Copies of this chain bind each other. A is one copy, B any other.
């Protein structure tokens, strides 16, 4: 590759050449960071090269991505990213927070942020002439891989625990993925997918295991940087910028951090925003380590309504902790009740979020209450996926509708004006 130099283990800092097709560190199994050839990029690019491109997807950032141009124009694969950013007046008023934005990732092709990671992995697979990509997942990551692979006519093989809800499996099957339900846990599916990948030479997408997932997810930071690039206060060092995002495996927050660090390395950004990692009470292993002030993440038996962030053993916990600490952010824990309330709060401004997306907003309310964020600061909340993916949670977040006779009189009796 021309624009990147190699991998570096996030734990022991061992370096590997980019031509060395690796998933994790050979020494300690640590997740690998890819580092850009910053010197070369600085020489050849200025921000305006990107700010004025016509491409309306993550592929506008191709110079900063560790893959070759994958082509595939006019497909869902080429449409990932460039999601809308909203500034809902009612929430601004409710929270007395003048500079609040919501980045809505539900507008990605398969309706979650995970498309960013899957698109990069699929691009890398094409480059490596791998026709089959395998992953363990029941949720957004699997749907994203299935959708992105379908769009470019690659084969996706997905292992999910047999207890996965049929609605989640349906989306994988509609995208034509080969789905195998394993009689075991998600961890069993994860291990099997790696075995299968090794045995058949298939490319493995597993979150945190494959170094390209973070490289895809970092594009959301590029979009935020680009959106705010012209904002008059963006470059003032006295203004604090805060990003709140839900954390399960820890791969998304690691991707966001990587994106901002790339921009800083390039000299295109002065300081990174503070990153707030929001976890559900019932799945808080990374937060537990944060609060205990150590790097050792102990698995939990996860139980939360926010299934996208319901994780026993986080696959990218080490880097997630690093992202929060290096950016001077915070870990925040919210209850399922607070998550459900936040689904309704976002719904009332026209944003239908999955529970994990709402968790980030619940985290903001807590961060304000705890004084971690002040009212004059800038805040971006990431909605990671669509509420349509989890209608059961949505139902629990709202009161029932009354049943009436179809007459004006019956309506007049119940209506509150």
Contacts and interface: CB of A to CB of B under 8 A. Distances in A.
Interface of A: 56, 73-77, 79, 84-90, 101, 104, 107, 109-111, 147-151, 153, 159-160, 162, 166-167, 169-176, 178-184, 188-189, 191-192, 195-196, 199-200, 343-344, 347-352, 386-389, 391, 394-395, 397-399, 401-408, 411, 414-415, 417
B171 A394 contact: yes
A348 B176 contact: yes
B401 A174 contact: no
Given A167-B391, A401-B173, A403-B162, A150 B349 contact: yes
Nearest to A346: B174
A176 B94 CA distance: 16
Nearest to A147: B350
15 contacts: A74-B85, A74-B87, A74-B101, A88-B151, A109-B350, A110-B352, A149-B350, A151-B349, A167-B395, A170-B398, A173-B394, A174-B394, A181-B401, A183-B405, A388-B388
B406 A189 contact: yes
B170 A395 contact: yes
Contacts of A350: 75-77, 109-110, 147-151, 175
Contact of A174 (B153, B166, B169, B347): B347
Contacts of A153: 89-90, 349
Given A76-B86, A388-B111, A191 B406 contact: yes
Nearest to A136: B406
